[in-house]
């Protein structure tokens, strides 16, 4: 029996904020959303392609957003929705906030070097990384360039390796095949290492031969399906993955098995 798919990288917003958030992000990034940003719309889209569970990555663009995001995350958490709240690195007590995430029973934290203005291997972040590690939380981090920002290297493969050299057991999940649009560096520094990466917004840009080669050269249990919904299409990402013809075992691993292990299910 094949299992329901797990999307490790999706976004949604509280209903009252969704319309404004989507339009602001569309303008900021010059992109068009596939969905309206509400959890109900995400669930409907999940149903249409057979996605059982989505990991919702929130991003606190200001320190004071931690509380409201945590509260909303607790409200929407369900067997089908795994919310990852977000801590702003400039918060007064990021370590205390990480503990509150764990106490709330949530599985991890999302960070975004561009929206939160930090370099992944900033010295100031290491106390937070260590606590996330100690608490056994997942850390999903935007990695690679971001189409809404100048191409400064804030979360590139070299910085990823530096973080993991110092906190080797950190459960870091990278996005966009290791680092968005920085795939020469991914091949040099990440491929072949036991570092989880999602496939969102990358397969089409990489092209089939290269995407296939990278995935096959990476540990089989370290690639997960992710769509970056609403910025990527769930059906489109699924189609692009299947077109790579990776074989049943690899495909099932990417679609749900690896994610299930990361989520401890």
- Residues lying near Zn ion in the complex (CB under 5 A): 228
Select the residue whose beta carbon is closest to Zn ion and give its number.
Answer: 228
Minimum gap (Å) between residue 238 Cβ and Zn ion: 17
Q: For Zn ion, which is the closer residue by CB, 111 or 238?
A: 111
Residue 200 or 246 having the CB closest to Zn ion: 200
Q: Which is nearer to Zn ion, 182 or 228 (CB)?
A: 228
* Minimal distance, residue 209 CB to Zn ion, in Å: 25
Are the beta carbons of 13 and 59 closer than 8 angstroms? no
- The first and second tokens of residue 143, run together, are 């990695």
CB of 192 to Zn ion, least distance (A): 25
* Min CB(147)–Zn ion separation in Å: 11
Helix (H) or strand (E) holding 232: none
Q: How far is the CB of 57 from Zn ion (least distance, A)?
A: 6
Residue 54 or 97: the one with the smaller Cβ distance to Zn ion is 54
Q: Which is nearer to Zn ion, 58 or 258 (CB)?
A: 58
Is 187 or 228 the residue whose CB approaches Zn ion more closely? 228
Tell me how far, at minimum, the Cβ of 96 lies from Zn ion, in Å: 26
- Report in angstroms how near the CB of residue 37 gets to Zn ion at its nearest: 12
Other Cβ atoms less than 10 A from the Cβ of 63: the count is: 17
Q: Where are the beta strands (DSSP E) in 120-174?
A: 138-141, 171-174
Q: Which of 126, 120, 137 is nearest to 190 (CA)?
A: 120
Print the SS3 string covering 129-184: HHHHHHHCCEEEECCECCCCCCCCCCCCHHHHHHHHHHCCCCEEEECCCCCECCHH
In this structure, what DSSP letter does residue 109 have? E
Token pair belonging to 211: 């995407």
Tally the residues of the chain: 265
Q: Cα–Cα distance between 59 and 69 in angstroms, integer?
A: 8
- SS3 of 190, please? coil
Peptide bond into 230 cis (omega under 30): yes
Query: Which of 115/183 has CB closer to Zn ion?
Result: 115
């Amino acid at each position: 029996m094949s299992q329901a798919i797990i999307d490790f990288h999706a976004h949604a917003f509280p209903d009252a904020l969704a319309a404004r958030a989507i339009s602001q992000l569309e303008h900021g990034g010059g992109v068009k959303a596939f969905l309206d940003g509400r959890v109900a719309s995400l669930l409907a889209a999940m149903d249409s392609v057979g996605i059982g569970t989505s990991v919702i990555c929130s991003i606190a663009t200001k320190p004071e957003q931690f509380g409201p995001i945590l509260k909303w995350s607790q409200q929407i958490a369900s067997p089908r929705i795994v919310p990852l709240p977000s801590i702003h690195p400039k918060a007064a007590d990021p370590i205390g906030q990480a503990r509150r995430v764990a106490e709330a029973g949530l599985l991890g934290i999302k960070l975004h070097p561009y929206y939160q203005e930090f370099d992944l291997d900033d010295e100031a972040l290491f106390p937070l990384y260590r606590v996330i590690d100690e608490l056994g939380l997942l850390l999903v981090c935007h990695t690679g360039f971001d189409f809404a920002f100048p191409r400064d290297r804030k979360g590139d493969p070299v910085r990823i390796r530096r973080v993991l050299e110092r906190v080797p057991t950190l459960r870091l999940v990278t996005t966009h095949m290791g680092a968005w649009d920085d795939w020469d560096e991914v091949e040099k520094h990440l491929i072949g290492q036991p570092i989880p990466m999602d496939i969102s917004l990358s397969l089409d840009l990489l092209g089939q031969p290269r995407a296939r080669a990278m995935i096959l050269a990476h540990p089989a249990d370290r690639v997960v399906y992710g769509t970056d919904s609403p910025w990527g299409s769930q059906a489109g990402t699924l189609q692009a993955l299947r077109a790579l013809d990776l074989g049943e075992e690899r495909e099932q691993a990417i679609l749900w098995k690896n994610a299930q292990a990361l989520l401890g299910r």
